Structure 1
Amino acid sequence: MSHSPAPQPAAARPLPPEAFAQWYGRWEPLAPTSAADFMDGFDRPWWIIGGWAIEAFTGVPRRHDDLDISMLSSDAEAFRRFLGDRFTPWNMDQGWLRPFDDRFQEVSPNSSLWIRKNALAPWVLDVPFTKDTGGQWTNKRWPDQVAPLDEVTWTAADGLLYLRPEHVLMMKSRLARGKDRIDAEVALPLLDAAQRHWLRDTLKHLEPAHPWLDRL
């Protein structure tokens, strides 16, 4: 007897803000300066990624829904100890969310942490991990691409460490949401020759038909 393959579940769609808050709780994200205060005393490297990193590079402001910082995945446990009892970190991995505590100490290098004080408090910080290879930055989308942290980050005028714009745009190119396209519009013309070369070669490897390649 033949059997039809089991139907595959539909891909989960992002929840609208009201439904998200109902299920997960609301967000009141930190800004870069308050993130610096939050991370004061953490002795491992961390850096700001995403739209805030593009704004630091271009100087062109836009509305931000959140603040993402990153750190090497091997520093996850050090970060949990740093937070102590002051905050509760939750591990977000492939759509499921669970506490990052003594019960669940293992986290995937490709997952992230959501941080809040307690169950009644808003989320304040999203920390996507960066997989490391021998203490070096490793490209999530192209794991063979490895580099020292000081080659993929830079220090802005505010004294904070940010992911370099070409690397931010590489990550944003995967989804190319409205805000990602806005960031590309303002940042691509400002890249220098070396940055354009890196982004062009990386996108050619990842997505040979990506529309941003026509501008590089």
Structure 2
Amino acid sequence: MDDTAADHPPARDTQWQPWSPLEAADALTRSQARWWVSGGSAIDLLLDRPSERDDLDLSTTAADLGPLCDALPHGISAWADLDGQLAPLGEAPGDADLQRVLLHDDQRGVWVAELHVEDGAPKAWLYRRDPRLQLPWAEAVVDHGGIPVGALQVQLLWKALRPSPQDDADRADALPLLDETQRAWLGTALLRIHPHSSWAIHTRSPFAPAKASWNRGRR
């Protein structure tokens, strides 16, 4: 991580000029820490369609966050989102529940990526909203042309809590690419964790009312 970051955080409305997934891979190649393209950016990449999103979503685990950001190229600084306030990642309290870190190109004065902090164990990805839901790393993160990318069913699960019109469009485009096992995993996850999601309605039997979500009260 670049130690020459400005003392004052960049403004939240600073312009975005997001990396492409390939640029992100080039920038992060010095680190052995686990990371992957996630969110809508992952869906675009796996669908082999040009991305018109305003930012680039990346993910890592809490254990990998420090090593990953320590290896950022010179001129790229990491800013922790602490309850709406930005602070240099290195100044974040040790007990802070970090969920989002923004990467800033200090020379160009633009944001280049949004890094989400997810949960994980050595052998499995864990759903941050309820870690009882797990998936082996080989199924949760896939290789796409040498770039680690979050699997489609995992990205759809993240979007299912409060889907936007863009999320609904992503779901419609991504579902046909899921195999039977991936569809079954997503359907079960929706019923168990987000039973009140509009997406779960298509999975739930009309004779089986929605149950309370596992993660009620969690973010």
Paired position in structure 1 for 2:32: 43
Paired position in structure 2 for 1:96: 85
Taking a change above 3 Å as real, the CA distance of residues 74 and 123 of structure 1, as seen in their structure-2 partners, is: same
RMSD: 2.4
Paired position in structure 1 for 2:127: 139
Distance apart, 1:59 and its partner CA: 3.0
Aligned counterpart in structure 1 of residue 18 of structure 2, from 29, 33, 45? 29
Equivalent position amino acid for 1:140 in 2:
R
Distance 1:143 1:118 in 2: 36
Paired position in structure 1 for 2:115: 127
Distance apart, 1:64 and its partner CA: 1.3
**What's the TM-score, normalizing by structure 1?**
0.79
Q: Is the 8 A contact 1:109 1:131 kept in 2?
A: no
Distance 1:199 1:46 in 2: 22
Distance apart, 1:143 and its partner CA: 1.4
Distance 2:147 2:76 in 1: 22
Paired position in structure 1 for 2:103: 115
Aligned counterpart in structure 2 of residue 154 of structure 1, from 132, 137, 142? 142
Taking a change above 3 Å as real, the CA distance of residues 144 and 34 of structure 1, as seen in their structure-2 partners, is: same
Distance apart, 1:110 and its partner CA: 4.7
**What's the TM-score, normalizing by structure 2?**
0.78
Distance 2:131 2:192 in 1: 12
For residues 136-161 of structure 1, the C-alpha deviation after alignment (integer angstroms, 9 at most, x for no partner) is 421012211233322211112x2211
Aligned counterpart in structure 1 of residue 163 of structure 2, from 151, 167, 176? 176
Q: Is the 8 A contact 1:111 1:129 kept in 2?
A: yes
Listed as ranges, the gaps of 5+ residues in structure 1 are 1-20
Distance 1:28 1:208 in 2: 37
1:83 aligned counterpart, secondary structure: coil
For residues 44-91 of structure 1, the C-alpha deviation after alignment (integer angstroms, 9 at most, x for no partner) is 121110112112333344521111111111112212321275322100
Distance 2:58 2:96 in 1: 17
- Equivalent pairs: percent with the same residue? 25
Q: Is the 8 A contact 1:131 1:137 kept in 2?
A: yes
Listed as ranges, the gaps of 5+ residues in structure 2 are 1-9, 204-219
Q: Is the 8 A contact 1:109 1:129 kept in 2?
A: no
Aligned length: 194
Distance 2:136 2:97 in 1: 17
Distance 1:205 1:214 in 2: 12
Moved over 6 A (4+): none
